[in-house]
Amino acid sequence: MASHRKPRSRPGLIRTSQAVGITTAALTSVALLSQTAGAAPAEPKPSLEEVQKKVDDLYRQAGVATQKYNAAKERTDRQRGEVDGLLDQVAERTDKVNEARRELGSLAAAQYRHGGTSETAHLLLADDPQEMFDQRQLMNRLSDRQKRAVDDYEALQREASAERGKAQKSLETLTESQADLRESKRAVQAKLSEARELLSKLTAEEKARLAAIEREKEAAAKRKAEELARQQAEEERRRQAEEEARQEQEEQEQDSGSGSDSGSGSGSDSGSGTDTSYAAKAEKVIAFAEAQIGKPYVWGATGPDSYDCSGLTQDAWQAAGISLPRTTWDQVKVGTTVKTADAQPGDLVFFYDDISHVGIYIGDGKMIHAPKPGTNVRVESIYYMPIHSVVRPA
């Protein structure tokens, strides 16, 4: 008969189950906490100032890469011209070698036709002994001519071989220059792509704030330019006052008869003549640069529809009859370095420690330059970027 007693509970088992559940939960929590603690913290979003600095640095690095590209392209173009010239010389030498070879073949054939029997046989078989003697004299002359032809042929072969060697070396150098050109191009494109990616991540509000920061930077640069213009104007007024005082003193000395006419005033015109000549060139430079305002910056461009910074300065000074090198690194070596306070219209203003940018000074602390990708040729304060030096090209 079945028992109706209730089964006795097993308190120990219940307590054990509860303890196991609590322990599992605790271990899960610890594991989650450990994973959270071990995970790398998310990088904080950079501030707008940091983004602006990063973008400016990338544009400057792109500027450096652009100058490397310009230098590599200049080398490539020059080397290609040399290779073309050498290949033309090789072709010319080869034609001469082939011509000498044909002449040798003709001489060899003639010798074969007349040199197969002895002189006695020729004499006995000849219808006219005098004719035989004439033919023998001709063959002697032919041998001398053949010797000269062989010597000429060997000399031409040596020359052609030397020209081919030069062409081969020049081709190898051209290949290296082309590799440098491709590498510089990739570097420019990589820097510009990185800058565009940074800017693309900004919200509309952040872009507006970044534009405001840029305007503040431009305003600060403009104030510095105005201060330079004021200092230069004061210096000019002082110089004019000194010149007027000097002229007045000379006139008084002449009126009193105390001055000597010999050599009077002879030392003051040579400098002004040089200044006048430079001013005339600078006027052409600035007129050309002003005509380019609004054209887009394109790295590696030398006009006429677009420019990079050194392409613009090169073309502008070419308009004044002065040939400048292609890169900023070479342009900075041409002419005389002057103080920023002594800058005159037409001078070249170089920027950054790596000399990766250049503009044309137009006076009042301003310049015309091709700034960077996404902008156009424009007028701007020379204090917009850190100045490296000012150079007077002519």
Average of per-residue pLDDT across 370-374: 93
Residue type for 166, please? Answer: K
- pLDDT-derived band at 100 (thresholds 50, 70, 90) equals low
Residue 233 structure tokens: 């104007």
Q: How many CB atoms lie within 10 A of CB 277?
A: 11
**Is it the case that residue 34 has pLDDT exceeding 90?**
no
* C-alpha Rg value of the chain to the nearest Å: 43
Of 105-119, 219-233, 273-287, give the lowest mean pLDDT range. 105-119
Entry pTM = 0.63
Per-residue pLDDT at 27 = 45
- pLDDT-derived band at 328 (thresholds 50, 70, 90) equals very high
- Residue with the larger pLDDT of the pair 273 and 72: 72
Residue 89 structure tokens: 């010389």
Average of per-residue pLDDT across 218-242: 89
Mean pLDDT over each residue of the chain, to the nearest integer: 78
Would you please indicate which residues are annotated as catalytic (active-site) residues?
A: 309, 357, 369
- pLDDT-derived band at 146 (thresholds 50, 70, 90) equals low
118 class by beta-carbon count within 10 Å (0-12 exposed, 13-18 middle, 19+ buried): exposed
CA distance 67 to 184: 9
Cα–Cα nearest to 76, from 220, 203, 177, 208: 177
41 class by beta-carbon count within 10 Å (0-12 exposed, 13-18 middle, 19+ buried): exposed
Per-residue pLDDT at 92 = 73
Average of per-residue pLDDT across 318-337: 96
**Is it the case that residue 68 has pLDDT exceeding 50?**
yes
Say if residues 321 and 363 touch (Cβ distance below 8 Å): no
Q: Length of the chain, please?
A: 394
Per-residue pLDDT at 140 = 60
CA distance 363 to 48: 33
CA distance 110 to 104: 10
Per-residue pLDDT at 359 = 98
CA distance 164 to 363: 54
3-state SS class at 302: strand
Inter-axis angle of helices 48-114 and 309-318, to 10 degrees?
A: 60
**Is it the case that residue 252 has pLDDT exceeding 90?**
no
* Residues 189-217 pLDDT 10s: 888 888 888 888 888 888 888 888 888 88
Is cis: bond before 7, omega within 30 of 0? no
